[in-house]
Amino acid sequence: MRALITGANGQLGRALADVLARAHAQVDTADLPDLDISSMASVEAWLAGHEPYDVVYNCAAFTNVDGCEQDFAAAFAANALGPMNLSIACAKIGATLVHVSTDYVFPGTEPGARTEDDVAAPISAYGRSKLAGEGLALANNPRTHVVRTAWLYGDGRNFVRTMLSLADRFDQITVVDDQLGNPTYAVDLAGELVRIAATKDYGVWHCTNEGTCSWADLAQETFALAGRQTQVVRCTSAEWKQAHPESADRPAFSSLENHRLAKTIGNGMRPWKEALAAYLEAEGLREGVA
């Protein structure tokens, strides 16, 4: 199998490259400035210079949720036009596209985990750009998997790392407690993306680690596993917005259910607390683990 990973310098891209390398796949990795997926000319030039791919994994995205509010044109270019360009190009060479999307396509106004059949209605510029990317990818290549995930962390900048960095400087940290979702370890997601890519059951998938928590819960569990005594001060989204008026609105309840995985190839995603412990151990950050 020949594969291309776009956005390869991100935490998911790096995890996916490792998984595919262990599977002895032939893998090319690409990121800015060598490949700009928002430019069809750049996509075509890249593909013209390489042997045809069997599968393209799109991990490239503009993921700064607040930044998307300030520059929707840039968000739309990366998150909507980019997947469209890759989808069109994949259709021409007969390749499968695996496009990674987000829980933020849902408004988060209803309790309960969202399935793939629930209606998306994003409340942020980021969510709107990602939902547009889903539709454009699916419309331009029948061999497309759209995989929604959530609250990703891995080898790179992420919420867990930020919390530990703040804990080095502060005795207490204020964290939002009324936004609920699924923390997801990039390594676990990468393994499932490879399994999904091998199927011909194209369409939309949800793929997160199992279980739902708040950002404050995630911070608390991180500190407990890392042996930190830092206190988590829980606040509401309204209180955070008042202190940070420039911040984008986030879904209150964006938990995803891996419904399609469970009904087809099997849900291989472990509980979020187990995945977090594995991540901290792998990074040498877990208390009592060398």
Q: How confident is the prediction for the chain on average, in pLDDT? A: 96
209 within 8 A of 271, measured Cβ to Cβ: yes
CATH superfamily entry for domain 2-158+182-212+253-270: NAD(P)-binding Rossmann-like Domain (3.40.50.720)
Secondary structure (3-state) at 14: helix
Whole-angstrom distance, CA of residue 254 vs CA of residue 234 = 19
Mean pLDDT of 168-177: 97
Domain ranges in the chain are 2-158+182-212+253-270
Query: What is the tens place of the pLDDT at every residue in 193-248?
Result: 999 999 999 999 999 999 999 999 999 999 999 999 999 999 999 999 999 999 99
Q: Are 280 and 225 in contact (CB under 8 A)?
A: yes
- Residue 197's alpha-carbon distances to 132, 145, 203, 252, in angstroms, are 21, 7, 11, 31
Q: Tokens 């420039």 — which residue?
A: 246
Give long-range contacts, CB 8 A cutoff, 24+ apart: 187-191. Answer: 187/15, 187/18, 187/19, 187/154, 187/278, 187/279, 187/282, 188/268, 188/269, 188/270, 188/275, 189/12, 189/15, 189/147, 189/149, 189/152, 189/269, 190/12, 190/15, 190/16, 190/18, 190/19, 191/19, 191/268
- Under the banding of pLDDT at 50, 70 and 90, the label for residue 128 is very high
Q: What is the predicted pLDDT for the residue at 211?
A: 97
Is residue 184 pLDDT above 70, yes or no? yes
Residue that is written with structure tokens 């708040």 in the block:
214
Residue 126 annotated to the active site: yes
pLDDT at 288 over 80: no
**C-beta separation of 44 from 88 below 8 A:** no
What pLDDT does 289 receive?
58
Q: What is the pLDDT of residues 6-36, one digit of tens each?
A: 999 999 999 999 999 999 999 999 999 999 9
Contacts (Cβ under 8 Å, ≥6 apart) of 274: 209
Whether a cis peptide bond, with omega within 30° of 0, leads into 245 is no
72-90 confidence digits (pLDDT tens): 999 999 999 999 999 999 9
Give which of 130, 127, 131, 35 is closest to 89, Cα–Cα: 35
Largest CA distance in the chain: 56
pLDDT tens-place string over residues 136-157: 999 999 999 999 999 999 999 9
Residue 259: the pLDDT is 98
Q: Which of 57, 104, 126, 279 is catalytic?
A: 126
- Predicted local distance difference test score (pLDDT) of residue 141: 98
86-120 pLDDT, tens digit each: 999 999 999 999 999 999 999 999 988 999 999 99
Instruction: List C-alpha distances in Å: 144 to 99, 182, 220, 235.
Output: 7, 24, 38, 40
pLDDT bin (cut points 50, 70, 90) of residue 60 is very high
